[in-house]
Structure 1
Amino acid sequence: MSTTAEPPLSLTYSPCPNDTFVFHAWTHGLLPGTPPVTVDYADIDITNGRAERGEGDLLKVSYAVLPWVWEEYALLPCGGALGRGCGPLVLTADGGAASPAELAGRTVAVPSERSTAYLLFRLWAGELVPGGVGEVRVLPFAEIMPAVRDGRVDAGLVIHEARFTYQTYGLRQLADLGEYWESSTGHPIPLGAIVARRSLGEERLAAVTEAIRASVRHAWADPAASREHVLAHAQEMDPAVADAHIGLYVNEFTEDLGPAGYAAIDALLGRAATAGLVPATGRLTPVS
């Protein structure tokens, strides 16, 4: 059934290549009969904040923010970022901390205090940084590596394409939090989630879910269709880096979280709740 008579839904996600690749077909009218949407691009710290304030119908947020928005927003089973070998990195400059213990009392830049990256960092630091770090400074993603390079912070917590580019800033990897998570739990890494306002109702939530899955499949079937759009929003990213970014973050979990995906999310939020870092949510219920 066509939903074109309904008012457009607001959809907010980052300008990163994985998001623009995934949502291109839906947001550019290439999927007839799907719900109409209006798009806004925003950094993860902004989208997390909007979700906490209840602003927007559909948002790409950090899995770490779910416990604070769970009553108003449902987790959709597709469209997000979850996988292996794609975790956040802790970076330092030459002459900086050479071990986790040396971060004690130091200043660390992070992309969002509600981000999954920061939640993983807190779990990791709680085990390996005696007494904890000093100041935590929230910076836009694009400013973190320059801040570490220039000595304005002692370390930086980075995500996404920084995995491929940090060496160009003269930085080195102190820790791979994905390796930490996978080795200690066996689960893939939950990074970014797509949430939808529960008040949309079951029928519209189902239509949105199918639209996202159709958009993912279209992107895989015809990657050239979105390429110009992806590169236009990639902040002068090298095309090869954009391709690597998409290849890493758009995977089988993007189309369907499945049992392994939900188990990973439950493990992350359960461990964090036990550590007193987030409110308890209970087990997540898929929207299908």
Structure 2
Amino acid sequence: MHIAYSPCPNDTFIFHAWASGLLRDAPELSVTYADIDVTNKLAAAGEGPEVMKVSYAALPWLLQQYKLLPCGGALGRGCGPLVLVKEHEAARDASALAGKRIAVPSERSTAYLLFRLWAEQKVPGGFGEIIVMPFHEIMPAVRDGLVDGGLVIHEARFTYQDYELQLLTDLGSWWEEDTGLPIPLGAIIAKRELDTAPVIQAIRASLDYAWKHPQASAEYVMEHAQEMSPDVARQHIELYVNDFSYSLGEDGYGAIESLLGRAAQQGLVPAFDLALLRS
């Protein structure tokens, strides 16, 4: 079975046991490591493998061909994207971003949807320009004044102070206060013609193994951690691997439906049948 997921520590931690052949009776895996913007595009083009990690924000384009799996993804609380500005700008409120240049890592990501939904409330008149750039270039661009603000995700939560940047808003906190729901970030999907029962079983068994043997995956995680320090990798796993990784549950599905339903109402994603998220 071919699977694609990111080299981020949360994914490698979850899938280590399965990818390493440590699970009895699980399908043998062929793994492609790809950042989520790459897998989003592969899935949209119909060129992706049977199973892959994508952004929840990409699902409206994918649900006719792919099924959302109830495990293996990233949802949570206290783990949302951040909007960053230079330190001397931090005292200003969000309205100061009106008409400004903002760097984002993707326009088809949960982070971007949260950002746009937040801006609808907090940035009257909207932004001047949205600039898509690679994730690792955003914080230097804000620091160097190439853009006025930046939308960042993942390990930037732990490292943005190194770039002399300051937090303008935590979009996760805003979302949780606004809805009471967790934040949907990354989803695991499978082609609809695939029998997903063995896949779900293997993901949960791999996660069980990871939790019972947390050091077993350490070498595998760091091998793919893109020069991240072990401490940051550990914080990353603690933040993004949780009970929602094992089962979405009603809160998880409710969060996904709320995010994508609101985004569709505002024209940020195509209109689609929300029932496809559960079928």
Q: TM-score, normalised by structure 2?
A: 0.95
The share of aligned pairs that are identical, in percent, is 63
Secondary structure of 1:199's aligned partner: coil
- Partner residue, 1:181: 175
Counterpart of 1:244 in structure 2 is: 235
For residues 53-111 of structure 1, the C-alpha deviation after alignment (integer angstroms, 9 at most, x for no partner) is 11221111110110011100100000000000100000111234622111111111111
Partner of 1:224, secondary structure, is coil
Q: Does 1:148 align with 2:142?
A: yes
Q: Using the TM superposition, give the Cα deviation of residue 284 of structure 1 relative to its aligned residue in structure 2, in angstroms.
A: 4.3
Number of positions where the alignment pairs a residue of Structure 1 with one of Structure 2: 276
Does residue 220 of the first structure (1) align with residue 214 of the second (2)? no
CA distance in 2, matches of 1:284, 1:67: 9
CA shift at 1:247, angstroms? 0.5
Secondary structure in structure 1 of the residue aligned to 2:193: helix
Alpha-carbon distance in 2 for matches of 1:230, 1:86: 20
Map 1:39-188; keep pairs closer than 5 Å: 39-56=31-48, 57-96=50-89, 98-188=92-182
Query: Secondary structure at the residue paired with 1:192?
Result: strand
Counterpart residue type for residue 268 of structure 2: L
Once the two structures are TM-superposed, the CA of residue 231 in structure 1 deviates from its matched residue by 1.1
2:146 and 2:6 mapped to 1: Cα distance?
26
How far apart in 1 are the matches of 2:212 and 2:105?
Answer: 32
Q: Which runs of 5+ in 1 are unaligned?
A: 1-8
Match of 1:13 in 2: 5
CA distance in 2: counterparts of 1:21 and 1:144, whole angstroms? 26
Distance in 2 (alpha carbons) for counterparts of 1:125 and 1:259: 27
CA contact (8 A) 2:77 2:172 kept: yes
Q: Secondary structure at the match of 1:112?
A: coil
Call closer, same or farther: CA 1:77–1:171 in 2, change over 3 Å.
same
RMSD: 1.3
1:36-61 per-position Cα deviation (integer Å, ceiling 9, x unaligned): 22111112211111111112211111
Aligned partners of 1:207 and 1:280: how far apart in 2?
Answer: 31
TM normalised by structure 1 equals: 0.92
Distance apart, 1:280 and its partner CA: 2.7
The aligned residue for residue 5 of structure 1 is: none
Partner of 2:255 in structure 1?
Answer: 264
Rounded to whole Å, the distance in 2 between the matches of 1:192 and 1:77 is 12
Q: Shift in Å at residue 236 of structure 1?
A: 1.5
Residue 184 of structure 2 aligns to a residue whose secondary structure is strand
Contact persistence 2:79–2:240 (CA under 8 A) = yes
Contact 1:107 1:136 in 2 (8 A): yes
| Mean Cα deviation higher: 275-284 or 37-46 | 275-284
Q: Give the conservation status (yes or no) of the 8 Å contact 1:43–1:141.
A: no
The amino acid of 1:12's aligned partner reads: A
Q: Is the 8 A contact 1:44 1:112 kept in 2?
A: no
The reply on whether 1:233 has 2:224 as its aligned counterpart is: yes
Q: From the superposition, tell whether residues 285 and 114 of structure 1 become closer, same or farther in structure 2 (CA, over 3 Å).
A: closer
Q: Which amino acid aligns with 2:75?
A: L
Which residue is equivalent to 1:195? 189
What 5-or-longer segments of structure 2 have no aligned partner? Answer: none
- In terms of mean alpha carbon deviation, does 240-249 or 146-155 score higher? 146-155
Is 1:273–2:267 an aligned residue pair?
Answer: no
Whether the aligned pair in 1 keeps the contact of 2:63 and 2:276 (CA below 8 Å) is no
